[in-house]
Every structure is written in C-alpha cells, then in structure tokens.
Amino acid sequence: MDKNTGIGLLLMAVVFFGFMWLSPRNVPESEPDDSEIVQPASSQSGSVDALSDTEREWLVKNIIEHGEQVVLADSTHAARLSDGNLNLLAVGDSVSGTVTVDGKTLDWNDICRADLKKMSVAEQRKAIGLVRGASVSMGRYGKFARFLAGMDSVVRLENDVLKLELNAKSGSITRAELKKYDTEYTPDESQKRKEKVVIFENGSNSFDFQLPLPQGVSSSELYFTPSVLNDSTVLMSLPVAEGAYWGIEYTLPKGENYVVGIRIVQRNMADIVESNNRNLGINWHQDLIRQEKGKMFEERNSALYYKFAGGSVENLSESKSDKEERQAKIRWIGFKNQFFSTVLIGQRPFNTADFQSVYLKNDPYLLKKFDAQAVVNDYDWRAEVPAAFSLFIGPNLYPLLSSLDKKTVADEDLKLTKIIPLGWSVFRWINTGIVIPIFNFLGSFISNYGIIILIMTIFIKLVLFPLTYKSYKSQAKMRILAPDIKEINDKYPGNENAMLRQQKTMALYNKAGANPMSGCLPMLLQMPILFAMFSFFPSAIELRGQSFLWAKDLAAPDAIISWSGNIPLVTEYFGNHISLFCLLMTVTNIIYTRVNMQNSPGQMPGMKWMMYLMPVFFMVFFNNYAAGLSYYYFLSLLITIAQTYAFRFIIKEEDVRKTMAENAKKPKKKSGFMARIEEMQKQQQAMLREQQKQRGSRR
C-alpha cells in the first residue's frame, strides 16, 4: 500500500467518525420504564399497519356520504365520523382527526405515518383496525353505521296489568311482567314469597327488524335514542340526519290492557336512503320460561301457533321439535305457554313466514325455544308509518281473547281463542256456548272455585237427569228380562241356532216394550259433555293458583305423596307423585263400576275384570292432570252413584213388570225398520240352511 492510499483511508475514517459524533441522538428527558421503551419496528412483535390507497379512498367516500354533515368556521362543508373512539373529519379528499386506543388519543396523521415515537406498533395497528372496521361498517350500514356503538339504557312502560322494559340497545321490549299473576313454579321450594309471572327477561326474548337496505341492517345491532312522548308512549329513534329519523314507537294504553301498539315511524328517510328493497324482515326468538308446577302437562300445552290471513289457525307439534315454512299470508304468530301467550299481529299480513320449535326435555327452567322469521312486503320509505303491529302479552283467558278477536284488525276475525285448546268442534261448542258462560257467571259472585265446580257439576247432572233416568229404567227392564233371555239361550244353543236365538230375543224385547240400546244411548249422549269438561279444566286459567281443601292449585296435580328420581315408564306416564283427587276418583269409579254391573246382569266373567281394570287405567292417565278435572269427575261419579240408589228406591221392579205386562197385551204394529230387520234375518237363516245342506252333501 503506497503513501497516497494510506492518506485516503485515514481521511475516510476521520469523516465517518466525525459524522457519527455530530449526528443527534434521541435521549428521553426522564428514564422510561420497560413498557414505555419504543423498540425499532423490526425488533417488535408484528409490524406496522397501513391503509391501502383504495381503503383511503373508501374511507373518505364513506365519511362524506354517511357521516354527520358539518360546516366549518371558514364555511367549508365537511363530514364527521364520531363514535367515541373515532373523531375523524373528511374535507375534500383528506381526513384528519384523532383515534383513541386504550384511553390514549392518537393523531390520525401520526397513525398513518406510523410514528413509533408517539405510539407503539400494537397501538398503531389497533388504531388502523378501528378505522378500517368503521369504514367497512359505513359501507354496509350507511347512515346507520354510527349507531353501532352507544350507551345502553332502560325505559319502562306500565299500566294496571303489564310492566315492560325497553332497551336502547336493539330498541325492543326485553322484559315483560304480568302484575296480576304469580308464578307457580319456584326452583327453591322453601321460598314462601311468590314472584310475578315474567313472560321473558334477561335475553330470553329477542325481536328485531331487518331494515330494507341493500345490505340488510338488523335493529338489534343498533343503539336507539329513547324519547318518552307521554305516559303511555315511548319512541326509540335513530336520528340519521338533521330532520330525518327512523324509529320504533311503543304504546301501552292505561288501564287493564294487554296489547302493546308497535309502529315503525320515520321522517324524511326517502331523501337519505337509496334502496329498492321493499321487504321488511322480522326475526323473533323466545325461550319459553316454565311457570307451572306440573311441567309435563305444561309442556303438552305449549306450542307455536299461527293463523293464515282469512283462514284457519294451526300450530307446530307440542310433543317434539318441529318446523314449518309457509309461503302464504300469515295474520298473526303466537308463542303460547299453557296459560300465557305472546302474539304478534300484523296490521298488514306477513307475506311469508318460517317457524321452528325446539323441545327442551331436560331443561329445568325452560320448556321450548321458538323462532319465527317473517316478511312484510311493500315497505315505503316515503310513508311516515310504513308498518304497524299489535303485540299481545297476557293470559289465555277466553273472554279476554274473544274481546280482542274483532278489535285489533277491523277486517278479519282473529280467532285468538283458538290458542285455548277446548277440544274438537262439538266439544268446543259445548265449552264456549255452555260451560264457559256458566263458569264465568258463577265466578262473578262466588270466589271459591271448588264450590263453583261443585255447583256446576250439580247443574250438569240436573240437565242430564232425564237421560240418566231413562237409562236406569231401561236397565231395570233388561234385569227383569234376564231370566227369559237365559231360557232362550239354553233352549237354542250352538252357532247353528244363532239366528233363531236372535229372533226369539228380539220378539221378547218387542213384546215387553224393551230396547237394549235405550240404556246405552243416553250414556252416549252424555259423552260429549264429559269430553268437553276434559278439555275445559286443564285450560281454565281461572283455576290457576286457586286452592281448595288440600289442593293448593286446582290447575295442577294435588300431590299428597311425592318422590325424587326417575323411574322408567312410571315417571314418564304416571309422574313422581300421587294425586289425592285422582285417587278418590279411582276409588269412586270402582264403586260405580260395581253398582253398574249389578244393574246389568248377564255379563261375561272376563268382561267384569276388564271393567274393574278401567278405573285403574284412568288413574294412571289422570294422575298428572289438573286437580280440578279429577275433582269434577269424582263429584260426577259420586252424584251418579247417589242417583242410582235413588232410582232403585223410586223405580220399583213390580211397577216395571206391570208396565211390561201391559205392553205385552197391546197389539204390536211392526215398523218398517223392524220389518226390514226380520226380512234380513230370514234371508240369513235361509243362507245358513243352504250352507248346512252343502256340507252334508259333501260328506
């Protein structure tokens, strides 16, 4: 290496070290702790984030189109995005402002430059993520994007019978309490104080509208601004722009009113929203809360109901999970418990609806999960009230539902009473036309429902007395003729004499003026009333919580012996208790069976055992039913036994024999029906003789 080369290298070294010495160094004013030390980007976990050019353009576009329009001090028009953490201002094609991350406010320009002297990489990335998410939300939700965040609050509406809570988050009813009814089911049996019936609370009910926007916006995601318009009306609104809003208005009239008016209200929205979507979607979910002591029967009487516009009422299965898709106009949708229901009625019918019911067999607090998705067409952004509904939240009380059938929608009978299972057509007619009016009449001046059931049972027995009397008199005739019938059977034995026996027996009946069917026919005429009462008592909410004697609740089983644990088949069909009224009904039924068999001689021995087994079968069947039903059947059987002994005293066999003897002396004129019967018997007898001849010739 020559001299010149050495001098050159020395000068280069002097220049390098001089540059390093003179370069400024970043020394903090005070010693930071480890968390405040900013490492070089390459040494920190992850890397800085940044918006792409396209994302920057969309951010500016979304803030200008969907943000709050403002005018600056220099009269410049701008748009602001402000949701708590974000405070950005778009002017022209630029954005400025701040982003708050974990309580630390960062300048937007510093965030874009990734100035790691003023923030960590994690803070920078989180800030970019917040802005990017806000831009995407504005692109999807438009003017409604800024309502995705806010403060939740509760507004209450209340009248004499209903107490409601509405939340700003979702703008819907989140709790409904019935002030006049107590829940009969308490998980803690030691709890003495009863709570009021709560139809839903704590997220067990969700109801949201799918706004007719291009991307679809759910009202459950938005934070509304509550406004109490008066003591019975609350408006949940979304002020999307100056002089423009979209909202849900709730009205709960004062007094004893279970119907909440719901209206979609809007103002100047046509100038704000550009959408060709005219379908307002509705999503409704409810977890059905258990209210009664007898879970098994409550499950059987809980279901999702719906009514076709101008048509019939149908329901999903009560005993299993079920679902339906209806491409037809639906007038109302109801989520029904045994004694309480929530029914949504459209002022205009729903155009389509999907229903689903999930059966929760092993849940101790919930019975079922109901879901309904419906669509209302022809939504008009220019209308001030584009859609309206009525929401019934109350008891399944027949007079109440009947009064609402023609009040809520003027052009159609709603048939809300169909929610109450009162039996098939003829049984339902007996209940609605006779039983319920009498029951309500007695209840208007008698407070004890055990006494009311007793009086109603006596009344029904008095109405049926002529039929019962005729039945017993016919049985008396058959008892007197029993020896003569036995003599005919002994005189003409075998299958070959079957026709002859029948002819002789019918001749005996005709001569004595007796009819074997006259004893059965009155009993058959009483069966519709028995079946009607079978449907009425388990559905009568008036009996709910009413005590009588040892029964604390006439609408639930009156258990005197209970046990825990699950016994296969026994628990499923019989339950884990023994009901006293059901036991009394069974004993009385056995006594009645014995008395009735004494009045009907000539039965086969095997049939006697079957007759005694029937009351035991009924005990297994009725043990889980309402105590009021077993009590009614017990009274009915007891009165029937008393009537039977009274008839024995009143109707003397000597008088019946004398009447039959007088009938036998009278000339008998054969009716056309009896003539045809005899002709058929002769033809059958001739055919039988012919068959016997053919068998003899073959031998």
What is the DSSP secondary structure assignment for residue 198, as one 8-state letter?
Answer: E
Buried b (16+ CB within 10 A) or exposed e, 463-498: ebeeebbebbbbbbbbbbbeeebeebeeebeeeebe
- 309 neighbors 349 (Cβ within 8 angstroms): yes
DSSP string, 543-603: GTT--BTTBS-TTS--EEEE--S--TTIIIII-SEEEHHHHHHHHHHHHHHHHHHHHS---
pLDDT value of position 185? 80
Average pLDDT value over all residues in the chain: 79
pLDDT value of position 663? 58
pLDDT value of position 21? 45
CB-side exposure of 444: number of CA atoms within 13 Å? 7
CA–CA gap between residue 286 and residue 335 (Å, rounded): 8
Tens of pLDDT, residues 575-624: 677 888 888 988 888 888 777 776 555 555 556 666 667 777 777 777 77
**Distant-in-sequence, close-in-space partners of 328: CB < 8 Å, separation ≥ 6:** 308, 309, 352
Residues in the chain: 699
Encoded tokens for 534:
């079978």
Ramachandran region, residue 170 (left: φ > 0; alpha: ψ -120 to 50; beta: rest):
left
pLDDT > 50? residue 271? yes
The two counts, helices (H) then strands (E), for the chain are: 17, 26
pLDDT > 70? residue 515? no
521 or 252: which carries more pLDDT confidence? 252
pLDDT value of position 334? 94
Instruction: Calculate ∠ Cα 155-158-161, nearest 5°.
Output: 150
pLDDT value of position 113? 85
pLDDT value of position 660? 61
294 or 421: which carries more pLDDT confidence? 421
pLDDT > 80? residue 565? no
In the chain, where the domains are located: 44-147, 154-421, 449-660
pLDDT > 90? residue 694? no
pLDDT value of position 538? 84
pLDDT value of position 257? 93
**Distant-in-sequence, close-in-space partners of 653: CB < 8 Å, separation ≥ 6:** 476, 479, 480
pLDDT > 50? residue 299? yes
**Which residue has 């402002």 as its token pair?**
97
- 564 neighbors 576 (Cβ within 8 angstroms): yes
CA–CA gap between residue 639 and residue 585 (Å, rounded): 12
pTM of the model: 0.77
Tens of pLDDT, residues 91-120: 888 888 999 998 899 998 888 888 888 888
pLDDT value of position 286? 94
Lowest mean pLDDT among 12-16, 50-54, 323-327, 638-642: 12-16
Query: Rounded mean pLDDT of 146-151?
Result: 82
- 248 neighbors 224 (Cβ within 8 angstroms): yes
Tens of pLDDT, residues 28-38: 333 333 333 33
H-type helices in 186-341, by residue range? 295-300
CA–CA gap between residue 484 and residue 501 (Å, rounded): 12
pLDDT value of position 508? 63
Helix (H) or strand (E) run with residue 395 in it: strand 387-395
DSSP string, 4-52: HHHHHHHHHHHHHHHHHHHS-----SS---GGG----GGGSSS------
Encoded tokens for 151:
């403060």
Closest CA relative to residue 72, chosen from 92, 58, 86:
92
Buried b (16+ CB within 10 A) or exposed e, 101-123: beeeebbbebbbebebeebbbeb
Query: Rounded mean pLDDT of 265-283?
Result: 85
What type of residue is 450? G
What is the DSSP secondary structure assignment for residue 434, as one 8-state letter?
Answer: I
Instruction: Calculate ∠ Cα 309-311-314, nearest 5°.
Output: 100
Which strands make up the sheet holding 162-167, listed edge to edge? 154-158, 162-167, 173-182, 196-200
Report the DSSP beta bridge partners of residue 287. 369
CA–CA gap between residue 635 and residue 581 (Å, rounded): 10
pLDDT > 60? residue 284? yes
Closest CA relative to residue 200, chosen from 176, 229, 173:
176
* CA dist list (Å): 104 to 86, 93, 124, 164: 12, 26, 11, 40
What is the DSSP secondary structure assignment for residue 188, as one 8-state letter?
Answer: S
pLDDT > 60? residue 39? no
Give percent of the chain with pLDDT exceeding 90.
23
Which band of pLDDT confidence, cut at 50, 70 and 90, is reported for residue 574?
low
CA–CA gap between residue 357 and residue 368 (Å, rounded): 7
Helix (H) or strand (E) run with residue 191 in it: none
pLDDT > 90? residue 390? yes
pLDDT value of position 6? 52
β pairing state of 387-395 and 154-158? unpaired
pLDDT value of position 282? 93
Tens of pLDDT, residues 458-488: 988 888 888 777 777 776 666 666 666 666 6
Report the DSSP beta bridge partners of residue 226. 236
Tens of pLDDT, residues 337-378: 999 999 999 988 999 899 999 998 888 889 999 999 999 988
pLDDT value of position 492? 67
Encoded tokens for 75:
């009269």
pLDDT value of position 45? 46
* CA dist list (Å): 363 to 32, 290, 291, 335, 369: 56, 10, 13, 18, 11
pLDDT value of position 59? 86
pLDDT > 70? residue 544? yes
241 or 250: which carries more pLDDT confidence? 250
Backbone angles phi, psi at 327, to 5 degrees: -95, 60
Count CB atoms within 10 A of the CB of residue 593: 17
Q: What CATH number does domain 154-421 carry, 2.30.30.90, 2.70.98.90, 3.40.50.150, 3.20.20.150?
A: 2.70.98.90
Backbone angles phi, psi at 434, to 5 degrees: -125, -60
Which strands make up the sheet holding 340-350, listed edge to edge? 225-230, 233-241, 244-251, 259-267, 387-395, 340-350, 330-336, 303-308, 313-315
- 549 neighbors 581 (Cβ within 8 angstroms): no
First to last CA, the chain: 147
**Distant-in-sequence, close-in-space partners of 323: CB < 8 Å, separation ≥ 6:** 316, 354, 355, 356, 357
**Which residue has 């007088």 as its token pair?**
662
